[in-house]
């Protein structure tokens, strides 16, 4: 009597032979736990997903700048895998060019800032995203009460020996 194995996907029992299961020495019994028909179906499905994603990225990059494509799709669109050419690895960011990479970072930073809640600076009284305030564990929201621009102006004034902008105390 031949040994049988139940496929982990379709839950059907098949004889444990190369006719029904792929060989895999690392698995118990020397065969995979998924039958050939289920593994082929999963492989076809993954191929279709990958093809659809690649097609969507290609279409989107036609309508966008490379920097916007990098921000939108990250690894898939703008970062090809490093390749070994002539004994040296090719840096994927070098392909984008320094200017495009910087523009992508700027766009990504702007998107992150837009998603953040606003906070009013005590010096300039402007409402700005939380990302424009330094971290401060002593405050309730974990951010400083003075924005980075005003804080830089205060530091600059202190170095020059003059009086910088003062924070307005809330009443």
- Report the share of the chain in percent with pLDDT over 90: 26
φ, ψ of residue 90 in degrees (nearest 5): -95, 125
Predicted structure pTM score: 0.35
User: Each residue of 11-43: pLDDT tens digit?
Assistant: 999 998 999 999 988 888 889 999 999 999 999
Do residues 49 and 34 touch, judged by C-beta distance below 8 A? no
The residues facing 88 across adjacent strands are 85
- Eight-state DSSP code of residue 139: S
Domains of the chain: 1-63 (no CATH), 64-115 (no CATH), 117-160 (3.30.60)
Q: SS3 helix, strand, coil % of the chain, rounded to 5?
A: 50, 20, 35
Q: Cα separation of 129 and 33, whole Å? A: 52
């Amino acid at each position: 009597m031949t040994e049988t194995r139940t496929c982990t996907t379709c839950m059907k029992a098949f004889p444990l032979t190369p006719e029904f299961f792929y060989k895999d020495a690392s698995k118990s019994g020397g065969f995979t736990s998924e039958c050939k028909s289920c593994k082929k179906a999963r492989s076809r499905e993954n191929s279709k997903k990958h093809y659809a994603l690649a097609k969507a990225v290609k279409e989107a990059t036609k309508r966008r700048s490379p920097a916007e494509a990098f921000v939108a799709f990250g690894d898939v669109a703008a970062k090809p895998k490093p390749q070994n050419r002539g004994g040296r690895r090719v840096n994927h960011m070098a392909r984008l060019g320094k200017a495009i990479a910087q523009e992508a970072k700027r766009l990504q930073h702007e998107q992150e800032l837009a998603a953040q809640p606003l906070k009013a600076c005590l010096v300039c009284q402007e409402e700005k995203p939380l990302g424009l305030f330094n971290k401060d564990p002593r405050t309730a929201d974990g951010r400083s009460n003075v924005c980075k621009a005003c804080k830089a102006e205060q530091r600059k004034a202190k170095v020059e020996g003059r009086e910088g902008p003062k924070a307005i105390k809330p009443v």
